[in-house]
């Protein structure tokens, strides 16, 4: 994960491979985002692979969001959409909007 990619605009940029080895770092960043107000932007432009562990982590993140949180995805790769559908997480990860 690019540590400096979590900026004041609350954008989290995922690495080329979002796998279990990076899950702890993503968890920490997502928890930080839950403590912030305003829009959260998730950018997967350069991500070629999302492990199931990271998708489950994202599902937990979306489940923990409060009404004050607005989240939007940018640059969602088809691979993420396919994996989320296979795991029945597509709607929970808000990929349908």
Q: What is the CATH number of the domain that holds 78?
A: 3.30.750.24
- Residue 25 lies in domain: 3-86
Number of compact structural domains in the chain:
1
E strand residue ranges, 1-97: 11-13, 17-18, 38-43, 49-50, 69-74
Within a domain: 61: yes
**What is the DSSP code string of 34-48?**
HTS-EEEEEE-TT--
Within a domain: 68: yes
Within a domain: 93: no
What pLDDT, on the 0 to 100 scale, is given for residue 25?
A: 96
Within a domain: 94: no
List the chain pLDDT tens, one digit each, 97 residues.
544 444 446 899 999 999 999 999 999 999 999 988 789 999 999 999 999 999 999 999 999 998 878 999 999 999 999 999 999 999 999 998 6
What pLDDT, on the 0 to 100 scale, is given for residue 3?
A: 45
Within a domain: 96: no
Within a domain: 42: yes
pTM for the structure as a whole: 0.85
Alpha-carbon distance of 55 to 34, in angstroms, equals: 17
What pLDDT, on the 0 to 100 scale, is given for residue 55?
A: 97
Within a domain: 24: yes
């Amino acid at each position: 994960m690019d540590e400096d990619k979590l900026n004041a605009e609350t954008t989290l940029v995922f690495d080329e491979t979002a796998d279990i080895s990076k899950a702890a770092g993503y968890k920490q960043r997502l928890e930080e985002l839950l403590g912030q107000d305003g829009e959260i932007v998730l950018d997967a432009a350069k991500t070629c692979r999302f492990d199931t562990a990271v998708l489950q982590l994202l599902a937990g993140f979306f489940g923990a969001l409060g009404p004050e949180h607005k989240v939007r995805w940018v640059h969602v790769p088809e691979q993420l959409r396919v994996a989320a559908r296979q795991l029945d997480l597509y709607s929970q990860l808000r990929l349908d909007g």
